[in-house]
């Protein structure tokens, strides 16, 4: 989505919901109403699907049970063995269906994708609104001018345009 005020435009803001496993290609459209006006004025909002989800060579893991599809919860010492067993069971199914693609579904490759998007848009640098895994992507991308994990106080200040937040 193009900047709403080209005179104030600062560049491109890549949006990725992170995950793992969440698509982000349509994120600008879905989050536009929640994005502060000064962000919409300053940035072209661009979404991306990381490797393995959405329109980016999605992997399949076959028929997963309801328990396997669930996100789980925070790891606790008393559940580590069962959590590992749960994760290995899902990983085995995914490897069986999509094993040839899985080695390429990495944070580093997502960071490289950001670089390809930056170059394709003709931008020298991009900004990145990130989640937990997205912080690593931004560190891997030398031409990322700004990044912020969502939910952080820094992001909240930055999106409100607080002085010094950039």
Looking at residue 164, its pLDDT comes to 36
Task: Name the pTM for this structure.
Answer: 0.66
Output the six-digit token pair for 136.
């690593």
Residue 158 has pLDDT above 60, yes or no: no
C-alpha–C-alpha distance, residues 145 and 166, integer Å: 10
Give the DSSP letter of residue 86.
H
pLDDT digits (tens, 9 = 90+) for 26-55: 888 888 788 889 989 999 999 988 878 888
All residues at 6 or more sequence positions from 98 whose CB lies less than 8 Å from its CB, including other chains = 52, 59, 60, 61
- Whether the per-residue pLDDT at 104 is higher than 80: the answer is yes
Q: Which residues is 147 bridged to in the sheet?
A: 128
Q: With contact defined as beta carbons under 8 Å apart, do 44 and 9 qualify?
A: yes
Query: 28, 15 in Cβ contact below 8 A?
Result: yes
Q: Do you find a cis peptide bond into 20, omega within 30 degrees of 0? A: yes
Q: In whole numbers, what is the pLDDT of the chain averaged over residues?
A: 76
82 has pLDDT over 50: yes
Confidence tier at 61 by pLDDT (50, 70, 90): confident
CB atoms within 10 A of CB 34: 8
Q: How far apart are CA 106 and CA 112, in angstroms?
A: 10
What does the block give as tokens for 110? 């997502």
Q: How far apart are CA 79 and CA 11, in angstroms?
A: 45
Pick the closest to residue 31 from 150, 113, 139 (CA basis): 150
């Amino acid at each position: 989505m193009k900047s709403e005020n080209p005179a104030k435009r600062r560049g491109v803001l890549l949006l990725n919901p992170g995950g793992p496993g969440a698509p982000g290609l349509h994120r600008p459209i879905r989050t536009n109403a929640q994005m502060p006006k000064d962000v919409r004025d300053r940035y072209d909002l661009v979404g991306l699907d990381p490797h393995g989800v959405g329109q980016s060579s999605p992997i399949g893991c076959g028929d997963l049970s309801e328990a396997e599809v669930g996100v789980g919860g925070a790891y606790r010492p008393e559940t580590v063995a069962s959590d590992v067993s749960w994760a290995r069971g899902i990983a085995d199914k995914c490897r069986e269906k999509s094993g040839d693609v899985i080695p390429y579904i990495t944070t580093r490759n997502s960071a490289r994708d950001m670089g390809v998007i930056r170059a394709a848009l003709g931008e020298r640098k991009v900004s990145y609104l990130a989640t937990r895994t997205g912080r690593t992507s931004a560190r891997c991308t030398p031409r990322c001018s700004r990044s912020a994990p969502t939910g952080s106080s820094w992001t909240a200040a930055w999106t409100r345009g607080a002085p010094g937040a950039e």
